[in-house]
Amino acid sequence: MVNKAYRSILALSAMTASLSSVALEAIPDDELNHYTGQAFITVDASSYSDATLGNYEFTRVNLGLDIETLSNADELRIGEFDRSYGADGTAPIVDDNRNIVFNADGSVAVHDADIIIQNFALGRVDNYNDPENAEIVPFKIKDPYIELAYKTDPGNSSIRRIAGVRIGFGQAQGDLSGDLISLTGNLEGEIRGPGSIAYDAACGTGGTATWFQCIELSLAANTEIYAEVKLLDGATGEATLDGAPYLKRASWIGVPTGTNFESDDSGLIASLIPTLTNSEDCAVIGVTACFRTTIYQSVYVGDPTQDFENGSASGAFISLQLESVPWEDLSGIAGATRVYTEKGAFLNIAKYADSSGQQRYPLYLDLYNALTGEPRVATCIGRTKGC
Amino acid sequence: MNKKILCTFLVIAPIFANADLVALDDAVLSNATGEGLGIVLEDFVFNVDDAVTTVTGIKSSSPDGGITDGRDVTVDWTEFYVMGEGSQNGTVETPGQIGSLAHPWVLETLPGSAFASIGDDIALLQLRSGEYTYALENTDTYAKWARYQECVYGQAGCTNANDAVTAMESIVSRLTSEKNTLEGFYNGQMVSLENGINSDIAAQITPQQQVVTTEQSQIAPAYNSMEAAWTASGEGVVLGQKYENCGLFGTSECTTGTKGTYNDRVDDYLAEVDDYNVAERELARRYQETLDSNGNSLIKRLRDYESYRSLCGDVEASNSCANGLVAIREGDREDVNNVAVQLSAGYSRRAGLDIGSKFKFTVYDEDKGAYREDFMDIDMKGVTLDGSYMKLWSRDNELNAEFRLNLYAKEVNIGTCGSACNTQALQDSATLFMDNFYLSLSLGYGEVQPLKFSVTADGNFQLELSGVDVTNYEDFYDNAQKSYLYVGNIQLGNATAAANSLGSLTVDGLRATYLKVTSHDL
């Protein structure tokens, strides 16, 4: 026993010696004198008064970090509490034919949590099925931050409570993947393509456009058309429900009812595009305009054609609010001041201003891709997901 | 200042020997089987209830782009206690236990051969907390049960330990149903499904993906050329917009000179973007229109296949479904059931620790133009840490590590009001309550993916997890620990009002195949 204990101490001693051989050397005082602190943490405080919501104080801890990662998670589930259909804009679960699904007790089924993402991943693996040549392409994050929001008492600003917390990224670029089961917040994109695709879909086999619309669309075949897409209520194609500022627990995305495609082209035909392409009940002149979020397995945050300096997105965050919180809008878009959030979880992957000040979207869809979905990029070596 | 440390410190295993310490060579060291140093702190109270530690040197962001250093931020650490469970936020000095004679914390040296993921030619130093195999006492197992139980056992309305088992059964049933549906759709021929997808990807997708990649790579140079020409032209329009109506003499200036060159580069850039879009569109078409003999598109088969891999792990002729989510949740069900059985039999879990701290932050409010004070009062109740460890070893003169922290707390409460909330009701109304908090953070997996911490030449730190490649990825995916974060219920103010509840939060099975974090000055 003694012998074993003695050996143990010797081993510990030897281990310590081994570890210390990693060549740590003391810095002499005269050299140390030239070092300045590496200020990778800053703390910013701010306040905001909203005429309706009241007074808020914010404290943001900024972390000077460059992060590269390829990470997978089985599931993210945030804000799992009771909501009922319609309350605060809670969207219903609908089937593939956009019919509302009911629970056994007759109530409208809604998702269990504000945000449910299964097989979540950041980053991708190129050549995943050829492990010899598999290449990790990491998701990049610069300057993440953690921010607390406090609601102050109207009568005494010293009395305050935590109203929300958010984790955000100064800049981010890369592939974000997952089965987007339930989303609450902003997932904005732009759908774009030539008018010919709209013509094919609306006037080809099974198309529902009128002959007159088909003639006009055929003339607009070479015109580039685009529209903004948002999270939708799959049953109605609306971006809101019962007047709520945004949907909770949405699982569809598309061109909201009442909006239309635009065109930058000039000329008579192009000018007809907005009139011809008004979205109604998840359709634009017969072209399907609503899609399940789960068919978009991967979203590229930022601009894939640019480097991180020029192609990273700003303003992305995920937050949790105990009550309404007007977070500062850090998208860089001129005139954008606050992102208004309500009780629950909130995922903000919204439009932003790029390094040139131009407005960009985190999600770009081609009219053709929108119908077929976006395949998942591989996020594991040897398999696409589930690692 | 009132500092109290009351403990009985027991050191088991080694007896301090009066002998010179002689280093062992690596060959001998690799065979060492030291039992290590056991550490047990019984009847432990640590309380620093009115000392103040002040941290300075932190700044706010410089709002003027770095011309000034920003405003000073001061952090005052005004309280820190570690006591036994039931201390009422550190106000009642309740003795606590860190480890026990049967389950001590251990500092030990071990040969690498003790771990499959570490070479047997080296030795390592490990500090680990106590380990419990009994399901009720094992923090990881108990936290898993608590996650599905969705309440703090023993509190009002939380007395049926089998609620977690019922919830678990429901999840396993749903996952099994999804698996059976997929197998039924493809007549159980999942290997054929995999082969067909691989064949179609090789023939249809990979070549077109290369076209997309090529087209994509041509966009950035075109953009840079356009941007350079835009600068040379005097930046008279928004980047990407062409010059029109140039000068008094019509459009000639838009076709010649720097403006004309810029307009040409805009056309070039748009052409590259168009080529890229066409290539992407063709790729999408192939996903949609490449069908199997039953008319199923490649995109559908791919989604179904990926779902199946997620549910079952490997695809095998026997459809054993042995390594995916179904098997994981079935294993969880067994763990959850073991805890439920022990609780239902009347056994109770050991008491944990209460840990708390108070902080005061003096920060400059840019909008108000004045300093203000932020308070944070953190109290964790019933904390247990068993199953945590840190391994350290040296390889090629680099310090490598593997780390796991299992931290479970029955409650984590965060108050933010400070002395202004001078009644219990006011304090409660401003406090964030979190029940069943569990963080299991795993970093590194032996020498397959060691955790490396270093300092760059310019004085910034760097943390890295890398090393997963063709030689070891299956070992990594099969055996490396994942991380978990679970909070059973998040609630503001009155701890029982349902209207204030934000419900649960789950980050399940997070694992970094690659991670590199480098700090920099802000």
pLDDT value, residue A130: 87
| Cβ–Cβ contact A109 with B under 8 A | no
Write out the DSSP string of B165-222.
HHHHHHHHHHHHHHHHHHHHHTTT-HHHHHHHHHHHIIIIIHHHHHHHHHHHHTHHHH
**CA distances from residue A94 to A82, A99, A188, B512 in whole angstroms, order as listed:** 18, 5, 21, 34
**CA distances from residue B503 to A115, A182, A243 in whole angstroms, order as listed:** 12, 15, 24
Nearest CA in chain B to A82: B503
Query: A59 near A48, Cβ under 8 Å?
Result: no
Instruction: Tell whether the model's pLDDT for residue B153 goes beyond 60.
Output: yes
Distance separating alpha carbons of residues A267 and A55, to the nearest angstrom: 50
Residues of A in contact with B29 (CB under 8 A): 11, 14-15
pLDDT value, residue B277: 78
pLDDT value, residue A106: 95
Minimal Cα–Cα distance from A385 to chain B, Å?
7
How many Cα atoms occupy the beta-carbon half-sphere of B50 within 13 Å? 2
pLDDT band at A195 (very low <50, low <70, confident <90, very high): confident
pLDDT value, residue A155: 82
pLDDT value, residue B7: 42
pLDDT value, residue B339: 96
Q: What is the pLDDT of residues B59-109, one digit of tens each?
A: 888 666 566 678 889 999 989 999 999 999 999 999 999 999 899 999 999
Q: Which residue blocks in B444-496 are alpha helix, DSSP H?
A: 473-479
Write out the DSSP string of B299-350.
HHHHHHHHHHHHHHSS--TT----SSHHHHHHHHHHHHHHHHHHHHTT--PP
Average pLDDT over residues A359-376: 78
pLDDT value, residue B93: 93
Distance separating alpha carbons of residues B66 and B72, to the nearest angstrom: 14
Nearest CA in chain B to A295: B303
Query: B493 near B431, Cβ under 8 Å?
Result: yes
Instruction: Tell whether the model's pLDDT for residue B174 goes beyond 70.
Output: yes
Structure token pair of residue A58: 């914010």
pLDDT value, residue B11: 42
Structure token pair of residue A227: 């529209």
User: How is residue B295 annotated by DSSP?
Assistant: -
pLDDT, averaged across chain B: 87
Distance separating alpha carbons of residues B96 and B47, to the nearest angstrom: 12
Length of chain A as a residue count: 387
Q: What percentage of chain A has pLDDT greater than the value 70?
A: 80
Distance separating alpha carbons of residues B26 and B119, to the nearest angstrom: 12
Q: What is the pLDDT of residues A105-120, one digit of tens each?
A: 999 999 999 999 999 9
* CB pairs < 8 Å spanning A and B: 332
Q: Which residues of A44-64 are buried (b: 16+ CB within 10 A; e: fewer)?
A: bbbbbeeeebbebbbbbbbbb
pLDDT band at B252 (very low <50, low <70, confident <90, very high): low
Instruction: Tell whether the model's pLDDT for residue A262 goes beyond 90.
Output: no
pLDDT, averaged across chain A: 83
User: How is residue A153 annotated by DSSP?
Assistant: P
Which of B465, B466, B506, B516 is the mutation pick for testing A, counting most A CBs within 10 A? Answer: B506
Which positions 289-348 of A are in contact with B (Cβ < 8 Å)? Answer: 295, 297, 304-307, 310, 320, 322-323, 343-345
Distance separating alpha carbons of residues B487 and A80, to the nearest angstrom: 10
Distance separating alpha carbons of residues A220 and B92, to the nearest angstrom: 78
Instruction: Tell whether the model's pLDDT for residue B17 goes beyond 60.
Output: no
How many Cα atoms occupy the beta-carbon half-sphere of B25 within 13 Å? 1
Average pLDDT over residues B292-304: 91
Minimal Cα–Cα distance from B345 to chain A, Å?
30
Average pLDDT over residues B440-457: 94
pLDDT value, residue A4: 39
> Which residue from A37, A369, A384 is facing B57, i.e. has the nearest CB?
A37
Each as own residue / partner, the long-range contacts of residues B448-456 (CB below 8 Å, 24 or more positions apart, any chain) are B448/B117, B448/B472, B448/B475, B448/B476, B448/B480, B449/B476, B449/B480, B449/B513, B450/B395, B450/B400, B450/B401, B450/B402, B451/B400, B451/B401, B451/B402, B451/B403, B452/B398, B452/B399, B452/B400, B452/B401, B453/B399, B453/B401, B454/B398, B456/B518
pLDDT value, residue B417: 85
Name every residue whose Cβ is closer than 8 Å to that of residue A216 and which is 6 or more positions away in sequence.
A269, A272, A276
Among residues A221, A234, A320, A329, which one has the least CA distance to residue A276?
A221
Which of A15, A114, A309 is the mutation pick for testing B, counting most B CBs within 10 A? Answer: A15
| Cβ–Cβ contact A355 with B under 8 A | no
Lowest-pLDDT choice from A245-254, B17-26, B452-461 = B17-26
> Which residue from A158, A307, A344 is facing B502, i.e. has the nearest CB?
A344
Query: A347 near A364, Cβ under 8 Å?
Result: no
Among A224-228, A247-251, B271-275, B306-310, the range of highest mean pLDDT: A247-251
Residues of A in contact with B398 (CB under 8 A): 22
Length of chain B as a residue count: 522
pLDDT value, residue A15: 38
Query: A301 near A171, Cβ under 8 Å?
Result: no
> Which residue from A38, A43, A384 is facing B306, i.e. has the nearest CB?
A384
> Which residue from B474, B506, B522 is facing A40, i.e. has the nearest CB?
B522
pLDDT band at B34 (very low <50, low <70, confident <90, very high): low
Output A27 or B238, whichever has higher pLDDT: B238
Kind of pairing, strands B37-48 and B96-98? antiparallel
Nearest CA in chain B to A67: B517
Instruction: Tell whether the model's pLDDT for residue A190 goes beyond 50.
Output: yes
Minimal Cα–Cα distance from A343 to chain B, Å?
8
Distance separating alpha carbons of residues B510 and B498, to the nearest angstrom: 30
Average pLDDT over residues B37-44: 90
Is B430 close to A143, i.e. CB distance below 8 A?
no
Q: What is the pLDDT of residues B456-499, one digit of tens each?
A: 888 889 999 999 999 999 999 989 999 999 999 898 876 666 77
Output B247 or A203, whichever has higher pLDDT: A203
pLDDT value, residue A8: 36
Among A238-242, B53-57, B282-286, the range of highest mean pLDDT: A238-242
Query: B179 near B312, Cβ under 8 Å?
Result: yes
pLDDT value, residue A11: 36
Output A20 or B112, whichever has higher pLDDT: B112
Minimal Cα–Cα distance from A125 to chain B, Å?
10
Around Cβ A198, how many Cβ atoms within 10 Å? 27
Strand arrangement of the beta sheet that strand A252-254 belongs to: A290-292, A252-254, A224-232, A189-194, A363-366
Among residues B185, B209, B207, which one has the least CA distance to residue B292?
B185
Distance separating alpha carbons of residues A192 and A333, to the nearest angstrom: 21
Q: What is the pLDDT of residues B316-337, one digit of tens each?
A: 899 999 888 899 899 999 999 9
Among residues B484, B494, B384, B385, which one has the least CA distance to residue B148?
B484
Distance separating alpha carbons of residues B408 and A207, to the nearest angstrom: 58
Distance separating alpha carbons of residues A67 and A46, to the nearest angstrom: 26
Q: Beta partners for B339?
A: none
Average pLDDT over residues B3-17: 42
Average pLDDT over residues B201-216: 92
Three-state DSSP state, A32: helix
Q: What percentage of chain B has pLDDT greater than the value 70?
A: 90
Query: A262 near A185, Cβ under 8 Å?
Result: no
Lowest-pLDDT choice from A25-34, A48-57, A140-149, A366-375 = A25-34
Q: What is the pLDDT of residues B386-424, one digit of tens each?
A: 999 999 999 988 899 999 999 999 999 999 888 888 888
pLDDT band at A45 (very low <50, low <70, confident <90, very high): very high
Among residues A74, A375, A71, which one has the least CA distance to residue B313?
A74
Minimal Cα–Cα distance from B95 to chain A, Å?
31
pLDDT band at B6 (very low <50, low <70, confident <90, very high): very low
Listed by start position, the domains of chain A span 33-372
Nearest CA in chain B to A193: B277
Residues of B in contact with A21 (CB under 8 A): 394, 397
- Quote the pTM value: 0.83
Distance separating alpha carbons of residues B432 and B375, to the nearest angstrom: 13
Nearest CA in chain A to B61: A42
Lowest-pLDDT choice from A270-284, B221-235, B286-300 = A270-284
Q: Beta partners for A325?
A: A341
pLDDT value, residue A180: 93
pLDDT value, residue A268: 55
Instruction: Tell whether the model's pLDDT for residue A5 goes beyond 50.
Output: no
pLDDT value, residue A16: 38
Output B147 or B2, whichever has higher pLDDT: B147
Task: State the Cα torsion B279-B280-B281-B287 to the nearest 10°.
Answer: 110
Around Cβ B512, how many Cβ atoms within 10 Å? 24
Around Cβ B255, how many Cβ atoms within 10 Å? 14
Query: A306 near B223, Cβ under 8 Å?
Result: yes
Identify the residue whose tokens are 């570890």.
A19
Q: Is B297 exposed, middle or buried (0-12, 13-18, 19+ CB in 10 A)?
A: middle
Among residues B208, B227, B205, which one has the least CA distance to residue B216?
B208
